Structure 1
Amino acid sequence: MPSPTSSLGVLKLLLVDPTVTTLLSRIYGSHQTYFDEKERYCHRVPSTFTEEDHLRLRAAGLVPNTFVQWGHDEVIDRLRQCAKAVTPRRAANAFVASMTSADLSWLTVLPAAVLGRAMPVHDEARMGGGSCRVCFFNADAIDATFEAYMRHAQGASWGEAHPAHGVLALGSALAGPSSAWPTPTPRDVWVFHQLLDLLRGLPPSARYSQARTAIHKARLLSNNRPARCETVLEALAFIGILDTPEHPGLMNRFTSAAERDQRPSVRVEVPAPLAWWSAKEGIQEELVTRLFGHLERPKQEPVAPASPPTKRRKAATPAAPATAKPKSIPGPPTPGSVYAIRFSEDRWGAAYCHEVRTERGVQRGRMEYLDLLSPEPPSAKQVVGLGFKDRLNGERWQTWCSGLDKTTGVKRIATDVPAPAHRQPGPKRVPFGGASDLIQLAGWNFKI
């Protein structure tokens, strides 16, 4: 068996170069995906990337669509080896440092190490969907660069959905020098204790959504987004600080993937234990002391670091080349309107509005793609006479869209355009959504 970090050394945990971060966000945040010849889920690299951009990613060890694919037993062995190499104190320090001063990716080290230390050796036992009911393993190839980006952007992906994610998180941390591991600042420690106090003070009936809202309103964390606050709660529950006797965290008792996938109802989005926790359960104080007792709360609130001055973004930079913008026709949607849709920085399309309805104060247009895919934004003259674009499987598709007049990347460029003819009748079922769906779902209709 190779060492737990072999083949991972080129993947860096920290995306400290903001240019690299921007490049990866242009790839992984664009919703431009496809399956390659090996049926691997890939992200398209924009054609606007320069050779310098590609060289920068290679130098950072973060080449897009770099896949790893291990067998079940190898993943579990790697995870257990990596976890043994991480001391609980180092992992706890990294977790607390991620509150404000360190990269969000350091949050993943502690729950990944807890998972690896708790994970038993076991035979693969598949459940519905093909995942192992003990550990959530499945045989799909994993884009290691995408996982590194997600750890940086969200502090997520520590093995809760696939044990290989835990291997990548721990392997990346262990591949760097010990000096790269963060030490929590007094501000980090103070924020962490404030967060625990906030959870202790919630009304007994409060569930995870109320806890998430309270943390978000307190504005304690760096990158203070609701999803970021929820990730911190999920990590605390995963290790066992927010759990229940029936649904314990992993430092209190190992729970299988099938157990962690249980939820009180289909409306609950988070997994167990957090799905079942409420403030009446409190927090596991003994575990807090065991993991974080060496981090004494400062007597006074440390001064928060000054925010860097906001700079006005230039119209074009090497990391984000400027493109022409279509001239937008203001106003609410009308039948016969055509909208330019920016699928990505180098791909444009268009969609036709068949009719408009207003229900419960929400105005929606029934939209359908036109047969256009261009590196430049379309013009009003260009869309006249175009036919509709069906899904790649030949089915006709439409959707009711709200927010057509206020969604970034969706601009009305023509009105009173006659509806093109189509050999098929309109679809019997038309889903409801937002105008952003026209951007995110384009891969069903276009080979982007």
Structure 2
Amino acid sequence: MAHPDTSVMALLARVYDSRNSHFDAEGRYSHRIPSTFTEAEHQQLRDTGLVPNVFIQWGHDEVITRLRQSAAKVDLRPAADAFVASMGSADLAWLTVLPAAVLGRAMPVHAEDPMGGGSCRVCFFKADVIDTTQAAYFRHLEGAGWGDTQPVNGVLALNAAIASPPSAWPKPTPRDVWVFHQVLDLLRGLPSTARYSQARTALHKAGLLSASRPSRCGTVLEALAFIGILQTPEHPGLMTCFTTAIERDQRPSVRVEVPAPLAWWSAKEGLQETLVATLFGHLERPTAEPIPPSAASTARRKTASPAGARPKSIPGPPAPGSVYAIRFREDLWGAAYCHEVRTDGRGRMEFLDLLSPTPPTADQVTGIGFRDRLNGERWQTWCGGLDKTPGVKRIAMDVPAPAHGQPVPERIPHGGARDLQHLAGWNLRF
């Protein structure tokens, strides 16, 4: 389970941009591969086995059988080593192996028991079609997806690890071990009233983890709670005892974003030190802080921007008669017309009847009419940030307003220029 080259991750980021999502002819949640991809870029994805939109759909009983069988093949000590290595030196995807193995070992054989929304109340299984490449991408990107919300992801995480020979499983460096112990000490030292959000903030501020963003810190805490290191007597982790999906979905209030046990844990509960010793006791803390890896060895190589023309932007504040190119996707552009500008800088905008695979030009928008909602109603919106929103560029000024057979709408909503990028689907078919 080697980490993909940064250029491959950049290609996948372009594919799995939310603006490329759609439902294909078979009703599967898919992602368009931008038409700007070169044949060399397509081949690069094929060579790494990360071709987008490779789907699986397994039944409930098959998933549970696969999960239990895969977990039985995983030794928890190498999985714990990989977990600690993911703190710094190893690919983030290795974090998922230990909690996935714990889930598979704890999971009982059971009949599917759907609850509201179609998920099984025992295991969270839902009969979704899964894009295996997207699942792998998010494991590498966030270290998430070990089966906590869909057991299929646990199977995929375990199978990816099992496919690697034992010699390829990461061993934590002294620095990784030191960082992991620092994380545990940080949690031990929190005020007794501290809850999940305070723990995440403290971990983020400490800057101990590689890719130390808040979501990454939250994922580490959720994994520690999932296996049982952060738990409460009423809400145990899975190495203490199995808890059903519906039990793990219980939270103190609707404002709590994480599941049990972490949703209920506070620092007064401390850590389950016996479990820490069982899983990680063989990893002795270095007596002194190991030297961090040099910046040169950890810096990510910058990747080139996707090929393609960029609009020639006319700088300055919004003005009536301006036309703005709007980037809907990497390979799809539209345009909107500014009728007037208020004193607060918001422009009254209306889509033009244009879709283009390349940025539109001033000549291209001349003489184009407006594009109404798909139901035939005229639509406009007040937009702020027209002069500073990525993907929104002024390409023409002093353009006469096209004629329209309907009056100006009586009610005009307010928003930002960024909203034009996702509201266009109400006016344009793409």
With the length of structure 1 as denominator, give the TM-score of the two structures. Answer: 0.86
DSSP 3-state at the match of 2:88: coil
Does structure 2 retain, via aligned residues, the 8 Å contact 1:248–1:255?
yes
Q: Distance in 1 between matches of 2:342 and 2:188?
A: 47
DSSP 3-state at the match of 1:421: coil
The root-mean-square deviation of aligned C-alpha atoms, in Å, is 2.9
**Pairing partner for 2:392 from 402, 410, 415:** 410
Pair 1:138-2:126 in alignment: yes
Corresponding residue number in structure 1 for 2:315: 330
Pair 1:379-2:368 in alignment: no
Pair 1:99-2:82 in alignment: no
Does structure 1 retain, via aligned residues, the 8 Å contact 2:93–2:140?
yes
The worse-fitting range, judged by mean Cα deviation, of 249-258 and 407-416 is 407-416
**Pairing partner for 2:269 from 281, 289, 292:** 281
Residues 179 and 19 (structure 1), Cα distance of their counterparts in 2 relative to 1, 3 Å cut: same
Residues 334 and 240 (structure 1), Cα distance of their counterparts in 2 relative to 1, 3 Å cut: farther
DSSP 3-state at the match of 1:350: strand
Residues 130 and 351 (structure 1), Cα distance of their counterparts in 2 relative to 1, 3 Å cut: farther
Return the letter of the residue paired with 1:274.
L
Does structure 1 retain, via aligned residues, the 8 Å contact 2:28–2:129?
yes
Residues 425 and 356 (structure 1), Cα distance of their counterparts in 2 relative to 1, 3 Å cut: closer
**Pairing partner for 2:115 from 121, 124, 127:** 127
Deviation at residue 113 of structure 1 after TM alignment: 0.9
The worse-fitting range, judged by mean Cα deviation, of 274-283 and 231-240 is 274-283
Q: Distance in 1 between matches of 2:301 and 2:7?
A: 17
Deviation at residue 69 of structure 1 after TM alignment: 0.5
Corresponding residue number in structure 1 for 2:204: 216
Paired residue total: 428
1:54-77 alpha-carbon deviations (Å, 9 max, x no partner): 222222111110001100100011
Deviation at residue 436 of structure 1 after TM alignment: 3.8
Deviation at residue 268 of structure 1 after TM alignment: 2.3
With the length of structure 2 as denominator, give the TM-score of the two structures. Answer: 0.89
Pair 1:36-2:18 in alignment: no
Deviation at residue 402 of structure 1 after TM alignment: 4.8
Matches within 5 A, 1:429-440: 430=413, 432=415, 434-439=416-421
Residues 77 and 437 (structure 1), Cα distance of their counterparts in 2 relative to 1, 3 Å cut: farther
Deviation at residue 28 of structure 1 after TM alignment: 1.2
Deviation at residue 242 of structure 1 after TM alignment: 1.7
Corresponding residue number in structure 1 for 2:330: 345
5+ residue gaps, structure 1 = 1-12
Matches within 5 A, 1:43-122: 43-122=31-110
Q: Distance in 2 between matches of 1:48 and 1:33?
A: 16
1:305-327 alpha-carbon deviations (Å, 9 max, x no partner): 1112879968xx5xx44322222
Deviation at residue 195 of structure 1 after TM alignment: 0.9
Q: Distance in 2 between matches of 1:177 and 1:129?
A: 39
Q: Distance in 2 between matches of 1:215 and 1:383?
A: 51
Q: Distance in 2 between matches of 1:283 and 1:178?
A: 30
DSSP 3-state at the match of 1:342: strand
Deviation at residue 413 of structure 1 after TM alignment: 2.7
Return the letter of the residue paired with 2:143.
G
Does structure 2 retain, via aligned residues, the 8 Å contact 1:114–1:239?
yes
Corresponding residue number in structure 1 for 2:138: 150
Q: Distance in 1 between matches of 2:52 and 2:129?
A: 14
Q: Distance in 2 between matches of 1:88 and 1:264?
A: 32
5+ residue gaps, structure 2 = none
Deviation at residue 80 of structure 1 after TM alignment: 0.7
Corresponding residue number in structure 2 for 1:234: 222
The worse-fitting range, judged by mean Cα deviation, of 395-404 and 43-52 is 395-404
Q: Distance in 1 between matches of 2:184 and 2:408?
A: 58
Does structure 1 retain, via aligned residues, the 8 Å contact 2:378–2:406?
no
Larger radius of gyration: 2
Q: Distance in 2 between matches of 1:137 and 1:397?
A: 42
Does structure 2 retain, via aligned residues, the 8 Å contact 1:405–1:411?
yes
Does structure 2 retain, via aligned residues, the 8 Å contact 1:30–1:344?
no
Return the letter of the residue paired with 1:240.
G
Q: How many percent of aligned residue pairs carry the same amino acid? A: 69
Return the letter of the residue paired with 1:204.
S
Does structure 2 retain, via aligned residues, the 8 Å contact 1:202–1:211?
yes
Does structure 1 retain, via aligned residues, the 8 Å contact 2:326–2:393?
yes
The worse-fitting range, judged by mean Cα deviation, of 48-57 and 436-445 is 436-445
Q: Distance in 1 between matches of 2:252 and 2:364?
A: 52
DSSP 3-state at the match of 1:93: helix
1:407-426 alpha-carbon deviations (Å, 9 max, x no partner): 32222334555376375974
Deviation at residue 188 of structure 1 after TM alignment: 0.5
Corresponding residue number in structure 2 for 1:251: 239
DSSP 3-state at the match of 2:103: helix
Deviation at residue 370 of structure 1 after TM alignment: 3.2
Pair 1:297-2:282 in alignment: no
Does structure 2 retain, via aligned residues, the 8 Å contact 1:75–1:163?
yes
